[in-house]
Amino acid sequence: MRHLLILPAVITSGVILAGCSTVPVDRNFDQVQSAVADRVASVPEWPTSAQAQDQIDNRVAAILSQPLDMERAVAIALVNNRELRAEYARVGFAEADLVEAGLLDNPGLSVGVGFPDRPPSVTGLDFGLTLNILQWLITPARKDIATVQLDAEVLSVADAVLSTATETRLVFLDLQAAENMSAMLREIATAAEASYEFATRVHNAGNLSDLALANEQSLYEQSRVEYARSLAEVADLRERLNAQLGLWGTQTQWSIEDRLPALPTYEPDLGELESLAIHQRLDLAALAKRIEAISKAAGLQRDWRYLLSAEIGANASRDTDGQWVFGPQLALELPIFNQRQGEIARLDAALLAAEAKLEGLAIRTRADVRRLRNRLFAARYEAEQYRDTIVPLRERITALTHEQYNFMLVDTFDLLASKRESIAAYREYLDSVKRYWEVRVQLEQAVGGRLPETQGMAMPDDTDTPIDSMNNDTAGESMPGMHHHGGH
């Protein structure tokens, strides 16, 4: 009888001990941080408490107190982007699966009561306690598989961090270029306004035809529309960046650095980039881990396919004559019909699919690296041509036109048209620099991290000349600026 009294005590103790243990959902998040440490300058964080969220809010406020550059924007996104936080939760799910894989099924307790219909009239009792021994035997293998799956999730979430960083950089470049372009369009509109006002005075004096005046007005109105459109685009991109950074309310009152990054001095070698991508891409590493987990699961199913279920335990029964009988208990499932054929076939198919997907991703990665590097060279050539040849040439044309204007060899409209073309060339230059950095950011994503270190090369200061030249006087007439409201 003492055996029966000990049994509830053991069960109760196990319940108490199990209930006292909890697993932090972010216990393995440091592995995500380690995986991206050499690939991005910023550290991702997962706030799982109100205190942690307050710390992040303070850090975001400190970053926003100064003009945003690309890396500051990435730093905010990695701690404040809500969609990325949802990705972080996958690490918690995988950790829960690992904990579950290390736990045994609860033992089963059965109780039976028998009432005799004739003497002796002692009530019959039957107690059974069983435990799934198969699960106990395969627990190390299950934990091994769950560990590999956790590693895969860590790598996958780390890859999501890099993707978020890439998306943030691209949106930031769009906004930065749009603000630069808006400034250019403002200067173009200013030139068009000055040209139209001067043309109006000349027309009123009877020295300009109605057709010429209508052309000048058309150019002026068109430039106003383009400038207004640029302001709307800037506002739209600011909201896209707000969403990407998880900003709202007063947090949206930030400023941005107004110059695009300088071009680097050289580009990395193609062969080096392909090799770097294969060894550095986190999605490739995550998929390789998933293949390992599937392979281990398939092996486990094959090794234990004939032992579908095995339970051992103890049994205690009291006969109607009052005598207690104790003994062990064993229950086996006979593998007559179901021998895990379906599960093994499913895992084999999943393994083949995952291997093909890994090979396809590796092939596509190499192709993307080559394609983007070719585009990078083309974008760099275009930006350097504008910077070193076309923009200086347009400035020289404007200067020579100004000399001819001083000698009365050309009129005011020729000079204004030359300055507008100079500004348009600089506008194309800014667009080419933006395209270069967009391709470079995409190439970094294709490689799976930072490109080999390069030394930056500052842009020539004379790239500001087209803007400054718009403020020069023409024929004694100062060019008035357009009224600009609500700039960022």
Which residue pairs, CB below 8 angstroms and at least 24 apart, start in 45-49? 45/78, 45/79, 46/85, 46/88, 47/79, 47/85, 48/24
Selection from 25, 44, 31 nearest residue 98 by Cα:
25
State residue 146's pLDDT score: 94
- For the chain, 488 residues long, give each residue's pLDDT as a single digit of tens: 444 444 444 455 455 445 445 767 778 899 999 999 989 988 999 998 999 999 999 999 999 999 999 999 999 999 999 999 999 999 999 999 999 998 888 888 888 887 877 777 778 788 888 888 777 888 899 999 999 999 999 999 999 999 999 999 999 999 999 998 898 889 888 888 988 898 899 899 988 788 878 888 888 898 899 999 999 999 999 999 999 999 999 999 999 987 888 888 888 777 788 888 999 999 999 999 999 999 999 998 888 887 767 778 888 887 777 788 888 887 777 788 888 888 889 999 999 999 999 999 999 999 999 999 999 999 999 999 999 999 999 999 989 988 887 787 887 778 778 877 888 888 899 899 999 999 999 999 999 988 876 443 333 343 343 444 434 433 333 333 333 333 33
Q: Which CATH class is domain 30-469?
A: mainly alpha
DSSP state of 481: P
3-class DSSP state of 85:
helix
Locate the domains of the chain by residue range.
30-469
Q: How many helices (H) and strands (E) does the chain have?
A: 13, 4
Torsion sign (Cα): 73, 79, 80, 83: positive
Strands 324-332, 310-318: pairing kind: antiparallel
Cβ atoms of 265 and 457 closer than 8 Å? yes
Q: What is residue 470's predicted lDDT score, i.e. its pLDDT?
A: 39
Model-level pTM greater than 0.85?
no
* Predicted pLDDT of residue 197: 92
| C-alpha span between 227 and 222 (Å, rounded) | 9
Per-residue confidence (pLDDT) for residue 14, from 0 to 100: 52
Q: What's the pLDDT at 469? A: 41
